[in-house]
Amino acid sequence: MADRAEQDPREAVWIARVIAHDDHEAFGELVALHQSAVRRFLLRLTSNDPSRADDLAQDTFLKAYRHIRSFQARGRFLSWMFRIAWQLFVTEVRGRHGIAEVALPDEIRAHDDAGQRVADARTFDQMMDMLRPDERAAIVLHYRHELTHPEIAEILEMPLGTVKSLLRRAHTRLREAHGIR
């Protein structure tokens, strides 16, 4: 489920080809490599709205192509893509004043008396509505994509302490909403 796989060694070659030769085929390889992760991230943020997620993913890759020269290879290319996707999502949310959804980590999911996981979409949606978009993004990046706190801080363009606080606050709110102490 996680996207924490080793970085593809061909990625740096493809990036260099795009920068040096405006190589559309090389950029197509980058898109093929990362489109699933970027789209899943955006699906979580957009309440699993495939149309919105696809539009935002397309905008993410277009912006990445136009600005690929600004990628400095200090971090992972996928993290850079997540940052672009997050910025586009925030801009879109500000325009529509919507609220996004993300999946809960297993330890926060609802369980019945026998300890079995319970799928209650209404409760889930209501619980997620309590989180701010930045808290939701931090949860998705950390639990779904297994990014480190420093990587999340870079993507969300926030101090490391803020990211840790977002995750802690989101956990607390979700646990309290479900009666877990």
pLDDT of residue 132: 82
pLDDT of residue 7: 72
pLDDT of residue 47: 75
CB atoms within 10 A of CB 100: 25
Spell out the domains of the chain, with CATH numbers in brackets.
10-177 (1.20.140.160)
List the structure tokens of 6.
């080793």
Nearest to 14 by CA among 31, 36, 38: 31
pLDDT of residue 15: 95
Do 149 and 160 contact (CB within 8 A), yes or no? yes
C-alpha–C-alpha distance, residues 47 and 70, integer Å: 30
pLDDT of residue 9: 84
Nearest to 164 by CA among 139, 140, 132: 139
Return per-residue pLDDT of the chain as tens, 181 residues. 444 446 778 999 999 999 999 999 999 999 999 999 999 999 888 877 899 999 999 999 999 999 999 998 778 899 999 999 999 998 887 776 544 433 434 433 443 444 444 444 445 555 666 788 888 888 888 877 889 999 999 999 999 999 999 999 988 887 877 676 6
